[in-house]
């Protein structure tokens, strides 16, 4: 019972873990390289959601002191900063992976890793 | 803090970064200067690090705060013996590799990509140095990613389909690893509220009591994440392809340095952040010890079955990473020293072997071990140096590999786990079984062309680094005193905290 | 792609997108935003241009040589600003006391933050554009 109520109260953690697992599953089981990259992105999104939800306070705002000095509840910027960096890293990883897929397609004429393995086996 | 020496860690990272981003622009107008710049940066940085070492020796270790902001606000660099030791290894070894790369690159990388090669190499060096000094989870994550992308690109830069494929495999598995690391950092941040290693370590006790699940899960994720990146045994599947297909200088830097940096970071996090309480609660050290032993034996057995010389060296790396993990998870002083010394020794030996293999491939195009009969008649210097590396690997007294194995064995004895001495002995035997036949074949092979020993037809820029590395292997095998002094201090840092 | 409606709308939209991108960049230290977000918006405007006209046109608008120079120099600016503080005797990337920071609410409140955000913005915009043109045109990276 404890676990279920914990899951429902922290539904965002639950959701992010589900997304993470979907992404990892897609990444590891699908043979299409483009789908693998999509899975990589989905997995990262799950993690990003998790980290951002750790730092979020309901009704809080970005931690910049307003000019008129009103007291506001601030959100911890550190997880968001980490995730901003993570997103940038994710974009560069995706771009790099896509360019590798383009190169692979030039050599093998397919984006399916099973077919590539098959071709390599035949070559030997 | 007014002494300019304290800025050296940042300056070392920055010079590599500046070099990395000058290279593409400079390479367009003055291609000859790029290589020269890259070859200058690494030794100069090594010199700076030696000055820093002197400074720390005279005073004490300190933390460097970026922008003058002390934690919890600022980013901290930890200038301790472990960091300086690792950074010194990185710059010394990469200086030698860059020397070698000058002529070897022409055979393996397209001419207009050379400047990008130097960019990636220097970027990788900067990221690894930053990883060695980082005292902050945030920076550890960021520089892990930079190092990963740079390392993947260093493989994919060679226009062959094996390289692209290996690089893709490496990239996908590393991304899973980084995902795990990021998740672990989030879990740690959730319960401790800090990213700075010292502050996390202070809050770890209370957090482990209140939220044991978080801490355990994050520890597991960290081990898997960094385990993938440092090729800890069952997670090593990407390594053989990646390290064997890459251009030889890349293979050397990937096998000699990159893999170990992740191991060092993982060990630093486990020992200094999680600390004794968490390690006592779960048999983490024992588990790593067993995994490492399996890695040593299995890596050697896989290597035994290889016919391609670079694949053999790559599988041998899997085994050698096991040594490092094993030494440190013994949790005795000599064991930790053995693991740390092995980082240096293996960096020397494996760089030497990969570069020698690269020289053979560069000169003759032969990769199959069975084709190497009598190769020593054509390339005596290269094969002599290769033999030095091979004997070091086996652990013959007088070569540097023996020093680390001796410390590992003493460490196992001190820790009261003498069974692991058996593992070390067995792996030495296996190392002998797969390294020595190459040496024997090269010198005594039958189907060699008739005639006397010819002179190597290698350019000086390729033989010189090889000879330097070979001499270093012998030097640190005979007179390891100064090295061991530094390693002892680094080990004390790990054990004491 | 040769569509008059799309091309005309792109022509009208592009300056607005770019002004918004620059606004996000220079306001980075005063409001949520900054180099990453603003740079992406700037880059997106050129991607829009490339999609509605053609990739070759975008490459003419923003050639590779320029991209290399811009990307390298913006990183160098960042590092050199950090090293400048060391030259002045403070720690790496020290802001307070080294760079002037006038009263709250103006453009240069943050000392070196505005120039650094600008450098990041330009770098990100340039990277987004080159990534797109290279992947789309399938040129060798």
CA angle C49/C55/C60 to nearest 5° reads 85
For C51-76, the pLDDT digits (tens) are 888 777 777 778 888 888 888 899 89
Domain at A113, CATH number: 1.10.287
The top-scoring range by mean pLDDT among B32-41, B115-124, B411-420 is B115-124
Q: Does B336 have pLDDT greater than 80?
A: yes
CB-based contact B346:B261 (threshold 8 Å): no
pLDDT digits over C5-30, tens only?
988 999 999 999 999 999 998 887 77
| DSSP one-letter code for B147 | H
Cα-only R_g, chain B: 22
pLDDT in tens, A68-122: 666 677 787 888 888 888 898 898 899 999 999 988 888 888 888 888 888 888 8
CA distance B215 to B210: 10
What ipTM was reported for this prediction? 0.91
Residues 14-53, chain C: which have Cβ within 8 Å of B?
none
What mean pLDDT comes out for the span C84-111? 74
CA B268-B270-B271 angle, 5° bins: 65
Least Cα separation, residue C2 to chain B (angstroms): 35
Q: Give the total number of structural domains in chain B.
A: 1
Judged by average pLDDT, the poorest of A80-89, C40-49, C54-63, C125-134 is C54-63
pLDDT at B282 (0 to 100): 78
Q: Would residue C7 be called left, alpha or beta, if left means φ above 0 and alpha means ψ between -120 and 50 degrees?
A: alpha
CA-to-CA distance for B465 and B459, rounded, in angstroms? 11
Return d(Cα C92, Cα B67) in angstroms, integer: 5
Question: Which residues in chain A are contacts of C43 at CB distance < 8 A?
Answer: none
* B142 interfaces chain A, CB cutoff of 8 Å: yes
Distance CA B122, CA B21 (A): 9
**C66 in contact with chain B, both atoms CB, cutoff 8 A:** no
Considering only CA atoms, which of B180, B208, B345 is closest in space to residue B273? B208
Chain C CB within 8 Å of residue B2 CB: yes
Q: From the CA of A48, how many Å to the nearest CA of chain C?
A: 16
Counting one residue from chain A and one from chain B, the pairs whose CB atoms sit within 8 A come to 78
Mean pLDDT calculated for residue range B369-385: 82
Nearest residue to C41 via CA among C26, C22, C59: C22
For residue C140, what pLDDT is reported? 45
CB-based contact B372:B441 (threshold 8 Å): yes
> What distance in Å separates the CA atoms of residue B376 and residue B383, rounded to the nearest whole number?
5
β-partners of residue A74 are A61
In order of B86, B118, B258, B302, the CA distances from B20 in angstroms are 20, 7, 17, 37
pLDDT band for position C141 (50/70/90)? very low
By 3-state DSSP, what share of chain A in percent is helix, strand and coil, each rounded to 5?
75, 5, 20
Q: How far is C69 from chain B (nearest CA, A)?
A: 6
Helices (H), B157-211: 161-192, 197-210
Rg of chain A over Cα atoms, rounded to whole angstroms, equals 21
User: Could you give the number of structural domains in chain A?
Assistant: 1
C-alpha distance from residue B207 to each of A78, A122, B210, B284, B497 (Å): 19, 55, 5, 18, 18
| Neighbouring chains to C with at least 3 Cβ pairs closer than 8 Å | A, B
Structural domain span for residue B419: 283-497
Distance from CA of A97 to the nearest CA of C (A): 11
| Start-to-end C-alpha separation, chain A | 57
- Cβ–Cβ under 8 Å, residues A27 and A39: yes
- Could you tell me which chains touch chain B, where touching means 3 or more CB pairs under 8 A? A, C
Q: How many helices (H) and strands (E) does chain A have?
A: 5, 0
Among A57-71, B272-286, B350-364, C50-64, the range scoring the smallest mean pLDDT is A57-71
Whether residue C85 and residue B2 make contact (CB cut-off 8 A), yes or no, is no
Q: What residues contact residue C130 under an 8 Å CB cut-off, 6+ apart?
A: C62, C64, C67, C71
Q: Do residue B156 and residue A78 have CB atoms under 8 angstroms apart?
A: no
The yes-or-no verdict on residue B442 having pLDDT over 80 is yes
Give contacts of B64 with chain C, Cβ < 8 Å.
91-92
- Does some domain include residue B297? yes
Do B82 and B268 form a contact (C-beta atoms < 8 A)?
yes
> Is B14 part of the contact surface with chain C (CB cutoff 8 Å)?
yes
Whole-angstrom CA distances from B443 to B4, B27, B387, B398, B450 are: 53, 42, 10, 21, 13
Q: Which of residues 38-97 of C touch A (CB under 8 A)?
A: none
Chain A interface, best mutation among C113, C138, C139, by max A CB count within 10 A = C138
| d(CA B107, nearest CA chain A) in Å | 20
Residue B127 pLDDT greater than 90, yes or no: yes
- The alpha carbon of B229 is separated from its chain's Cα centroid by a whole number of angstroms, namely 11
Report pLDDT for C87. 81
The residue count for chain C: 141
Q: Average pLDDT of B65-74?
A: 80
> Which residue stretches of B59-109 are H helix?
81-108
Q: At how many degrees (to 10) do helices C113-137 and A77-108 cross?
A: 20
Q: Using a CB–CB cutoff of 8 Å, tell me whether A69 touches chain C.
A: no
Q: CA nearest B260: which of B309, B304, B318?
A: B318
B67-89 average pLDDT score: 86
Picking from B338, B317, B311, the residue whose alpha carbon sits closest to that of residue B166 is B311
What was the pLDDT predicted at B485? 87
- Give the Cα separation of B133 and B261 in Å (integer): 11
Q: Which domain holds residue A100?
A: 2-123
SS3 assignment, position B366: coil
* CB-based contact, A119 to chain C, within 8 Å: no
Distance (Å, rounded) from C-alpha B434 to C-alpha B427? 11
Judge whether C30 is closer than 8 Å to chain A, CB to CB. Answer: yes
Evaluated on CA atoms A83, A88, A91, A92, the torsion sign reads negative
End-to-end distance of chain B based on CA atoms, in angstroms? 24
How many angstroms from the chain centroid is the CA of residue A92?
A: 13
Are C138 and A102 an interchain contact pair (Cβ–Cβ within 8 Å)? yes
Q: Are B257 and B128 in contact (CB under 8 A)?
A: yes
B24 contacts C90? CB cut-off 8 A: no
Question: Is the torsion defined by CA of B164, B170, B174, B176 positive or negative?
Answer: positive
Q: In this complex, is the C-beta atom of A95 within 8 Å of any C-beta atom belonging to chain C?
A: yes
Task: With a cut of 60, say whether residue C139 has pLDDT above it.
Answer: no
**Within a domain: B52:** no
Asked if residue B118 is part of any domain, the answer here is: no
In a domain, B364, yes or no: yes
Spell out a b/e string for C27-60, using b for 16 or more CB atoms within 10 Å of the CB, else e.
bbbbeebbbbbbbbbbbbbbbbbbebbebeebbe
Q: B368: which strand partners?
A: B308
Three-state SS for B148-165 is HHHHHHHHHCCCCHHHHH
What dihedral do alpha carbons B267, B272, B273, B278 form, nearest 10°? 90
Inspect the interface and report whether the beta carbons of A96 and B185 lie closer than 8 Å. Answer: no
- Within 24-43 of B, beta carbons closer than 8 Å to C belong to 24-25, 28
What subunits make at least 3 CB pairs under 8 angstroms with A? Answer: B, C
List the single residue in C with minimal CA-CA distance to B12. Answer: C83
The residue of chain C with its CA nearest to that of A102 is C138
Checking if the pLDDT of C138 tops 60, the result is no
Residues of B in contact with A96 (CB under 8 A): 149, 152-153, 171
Distances from the Cα of A73 to the Cαs of A56, B190, B422, C28, C31, in angstroms? Answer: 11, 19, 61, 20, 15
Contact status of B235 with chain A (Cβ, < 8 Å): no
pLDDT beyond 80 at B296: yes
A100 to B168: CB separation less than 8 angstroms, yes or no = yes
Strands (E), B13-111: 62-65, 76-79
Minimum distance, in Å, between the CA of residue C22 and any CA atom of chain B: 25
- C102-115 burial by CB neighbour count: b if 16+ within 10 A, else e? eeeeeeeebbbbbe
Which residues of chain A are at the B interface, by a Cβ-Cβ cutoff of 8 Å?
20, 24, 27-28, 33, 36, 40, 43-44, 47, 50-51, 54, 78-79, 81-82, 85-86, 89, 92-93, 96-97, 100-101, 103-104, 107-108, 116, 120
Sign of the torsion angle spanned by Cα atoms A22, A27, A30, A33? positive
> At a CB cut-off of 8 Å and minimum separation 6, what does A6 contact?
none
Angle at B364 between CA B358 and CA B369, to 5 degrees: 70
- Interface residue of B182, B184, B187, B194 to substitute, partner A, most A CBs within 10 Å: B182
User: Which among A67, A84, A95 is the nearest to C131, CB-wise?
Assistant: A95
User: Which residues lie below 8 Å from residue B66, measured CB to CB, with a gap of 6+?
Assistant: B10, B74, B75, B76, B77, C91, C92, C93
Contact flag B22-C75 (C-beta cutoff 8 Å): no
Query: Cβ contact (<8 Å) for C131 and A62?
Result: no
Q: Do C73 and B25 touch (CB under 8 A)?
A: yes
Contact B171, A89 (CB under 8 A): no
Helices (H), C53-63: 55-61
pLDDT band at B345 (very low <50, low <70, confident <90, very high): very high
Sequence-separated (6 or more) residues with CB below 8 Å from residue C15: none
Q: Does C88 touch chain B (CB under 8 A)?
A: no
């Amino acid at each position: 019972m404890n676990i279920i109520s914990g899951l429902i109260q922290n539904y965002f953690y639950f959701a992010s873990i589900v997304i993470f697992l979907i992404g990892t599953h897609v990444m590891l089981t699908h043979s299409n390289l483009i789908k693998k990259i999509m899975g990589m992105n989905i997995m990262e999104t799950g993690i990003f959601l998790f980290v951002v939800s750790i730092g979020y306070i309901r009704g809080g705002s970005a931690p910049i002191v307003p000019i008129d000095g009103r007291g506001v509840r601030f959100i911890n910027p550190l997880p968001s900063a980490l995730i901003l960096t993570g997103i940038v890293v994710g974009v560069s990883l995706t771009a790099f992976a896509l360019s590798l897929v383009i190169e692979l397609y030039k050599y093998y004429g397919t984006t399916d890793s099973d077919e590539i393995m098959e071709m390599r086996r035949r070559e030997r | 803090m007014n002494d300019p020496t304290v800025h050296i860690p940042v300056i070392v990272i920055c010079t590599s970064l500046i070099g990395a981003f000058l290279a593409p622009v400079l390479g367009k107008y003055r291609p000859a200067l790029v290589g020269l710049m890259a070859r200058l940066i690494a030794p100069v940085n090594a010199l700076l690090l030696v000055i820093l070492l002197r400074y720390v020796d005279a005073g004490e270790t300190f933390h460097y705060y970026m922008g003058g902001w002390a934690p919890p606000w600022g980013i901290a660099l930890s200038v301790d013996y472990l960091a300086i030791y690792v950074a010194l290894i990185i710059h010394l070894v990469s200086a030698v590799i860059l020397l070698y790369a000058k002529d070897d690159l022409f055979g393996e990388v397209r001419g207009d990509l050379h400047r990008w090669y130097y960019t990636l190499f220097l970027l990788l060096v900067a990221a690894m140095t930053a990883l060695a000094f980082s005292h902050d989870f945030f920076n550890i994550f960021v520089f892990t990613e930079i190092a990963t992308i740079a390392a993947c690109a260093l493989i994919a830069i060679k226009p062959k389909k094996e390289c692209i494929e290996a690089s893709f495999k490496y990239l996908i598995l590393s991304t899973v690893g980084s995902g795990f690391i990021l998740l672990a950092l989030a879990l740690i941040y959730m319960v401790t509220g800090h990213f700075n290693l010292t502050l996390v370590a202070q809050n770890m006790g209370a957090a482990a009591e209140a939220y044991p699940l978080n801490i355990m899960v994050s520890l597991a994720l960290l081990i898997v994440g960094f385990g993938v990146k440092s090729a800890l045994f069952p997670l090593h599947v990407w390594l053989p392809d990646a390290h064997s297909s890459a251009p030889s200088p890349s293979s050397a830097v990937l096998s000699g340095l990159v893999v170990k940096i992740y191991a060092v970071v993982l060990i630093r996090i486990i020992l200094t952040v999680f600390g004794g309480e968490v390690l006592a609660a779960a048999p983490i050290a024992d588990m790593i010890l067993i995994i490492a032993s399996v890695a040593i034996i299995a890596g050697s057995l896989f290597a035994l079955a290889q016919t391609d010389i670079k694949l053999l060296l790559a599988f041998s790396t899997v085994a050698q990473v096991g040594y490092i993990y094993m030494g440190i998870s013994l949790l005795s002083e000599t064991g930790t020293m053995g693991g740390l010394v092995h980082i240096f020794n293996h960096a020397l030996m494996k760089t030497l072997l990969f570069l020698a293999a690269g020289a053979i491939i560069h000169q003759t195009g032969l990769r199959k071990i069975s084709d190497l009969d009598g190769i020593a008649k054509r390339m005596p210097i290269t094969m002599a140096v290769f033999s030095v590396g091979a004997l070091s690997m086996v652990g013959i007294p007088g070569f540097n590999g023996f020093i680390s194995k001796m410390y590992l064995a003493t460490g196992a004895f001190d820790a009261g786990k003498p069974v692991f001495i058996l593992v070390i002995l067995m792996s030495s035997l296996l190392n002998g079984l797969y390294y020595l036949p190459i040496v024997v074949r090269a010198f005594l092979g039958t189907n060699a062309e008739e005639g006397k020993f010819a002179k190597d037809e290698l350019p000086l820029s390729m033989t010189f680094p090889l000879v330097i590395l070979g001499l270093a292997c012998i030097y640190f095998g005979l007179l390891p005193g100064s090295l061991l002094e530094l390693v002892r201090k680094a080990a004390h840092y790990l054990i004491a905290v | 792609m040769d569509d008059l409606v799309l091309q005309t709308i792109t022509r009208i939209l592009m300056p607005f997108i770019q002004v918004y991108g620059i606004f996000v960049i220079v306001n980075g230290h005063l409001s949520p935003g900054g180099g990453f977000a603003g740079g992406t918006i700037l880059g997106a405007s050129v991607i829009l241009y490339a999609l509605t006209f053609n990739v070759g046109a975008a490459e003419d608008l923003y050639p590779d040589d320029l991209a290399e120079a811009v990307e390298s120099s913006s990183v160098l600016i960042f590092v050199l600003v950090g090293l400048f503080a060391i030259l002045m005797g403070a720690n790496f990337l020290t802001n307070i006391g080294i760079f002037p920071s006038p009263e709250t609410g103006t453009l240069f409140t943050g000392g070196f933050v505005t120039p650094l955000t600008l450098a990041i913005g330009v770098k990100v915009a340039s990277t987004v554009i080159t990534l797109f043109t290279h992947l789309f045109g399938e040129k060798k990276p």
